[in-house]
Amino acid sequence: MRICVAGAVGAFGTKHLDALARIEGVQVTSVVGGPPDDIDAFAAARGIGHATKSLDEALARDDVDAVILATPTQVHAAQSIAALRAGKHVLCEIPIADSLADAEAVAQAQRETGLVAMVDHVRRFNPSHQWIHRRIRAGELTLQHLDVQTFFFRRTNTNAKGEPRTWTDHLLWHHACHTVDLFQHQTGGGEVAGAFGLQGPMHPDLGIAMDMGIVMKAGTGALCTLSLSFNNDGPFGTFFRYICDKGTYLARYDDLYDGREVQIDLSGVAVSNDGVELADREFIAAIREGRAPQSSVADALPTMRTLDRIERGLR
């Protein structure tokens, strides 16, 4: 399996490269960088044979079977469609688009080409959330309330590694997307029964809301409250509290604790404890097996419809 990683130098591009290196039968044959990147030196340091700043150049190569897009949100839809039209399977970082119409256009391109098109809703693959999901599906737990905090300190335009970048992400279409999708996934899929959001003032330079609150209710009756901030001066990340009928659980990325901070052993959940690697493994397996992947673009559309619903309410 010959892979191109676009946005390779960024925080999640490097996570995918590290994950792919642990998967048998996979070779990264091309990397794509952005305007500030020294992509040639980056590729040379990792022993990757081709480097470019043109995604079209990479898509035209015969030694690229599939593309992983870890690029700015604003180009996800156009790049995903371009990859599919070029005959390449595509795994795109969330969100697949920053509008419902663009997400639907990607889904249409997937239907027309029949190729694998997947969105990296990594929370579905984190072992911590998989452990919860399996117990909900088995009837061992009933989710009553999912309380989530997504906190960053981003008063300047920096990425997750603290480095300057050329694009700006969004609390709703990027960071809330993770939790909206996870909540719908944990409560049976499909759109939620109710959702609304409120946002704080816009940043004068970045042009985005720096604080936001979202409440959702599933058809099961379960609630989700999500608070998001780019103004948090302290530990950053996303922290999940599952309040269930039989216990409370705290998920932090790939780790899980009970309500009294006792860590839960997740060693038997999957072949890896790295959610990014597990998503990449699912993408590659779906291509090899000729099937739709978990977290396909079609699966992501209910999430995009919920985000669109919240955005319309914000207006």
Over the stretch 8-47, which tens digit does the pLDDT of each residue have?
999 899 999 999 999 999 999 999 998 888 999 999 999 9
178-208, pLDDT tens digit by residue?
999 999 999 998 889 999 999 999 988 888 8
* Dist CA 170 CA 311 (whole Å): 12
**What is the maximum span of the chain, computed from C-alpha positions, in angstroms?**
53
For 36, other C-beta atoms within 10 Å of its C-beta total 11
Q: Across all residues in the chain, what is the average pLDDT?
A: 94
In Å, what is the CA distance from 183 to each residue of 203, 222, 276, 295?
Answer: 28, 9, 19, 14
Fold of the domain spanning 2-122+276-295: Rossmann fold (3.40.50)
Q: Strand 143-151 and strand 117-120: pairing?
A: unpaired
Write the CATH number of the domain with boundaries 123-273+303-314.
3.30.360.10
Asked whether 307 and 184 are in contact (CB, 8 A), the reply is no
Domain boundaries, the chain: 2-122+276-295, 123-273+303-314
150: burial class by Cβ within 10 Å (0-12, 13-18, 19+)? Answer: buried
For the whole prediction, is pTM greater than 0.75? yes
Secondary structure E strands in 103-159: 117-120, 143-151
Report the first-to-last Cα separation within the chain, whole angstroms: 45
> Does residue 65 surpass a pLDDT of 90?
yes
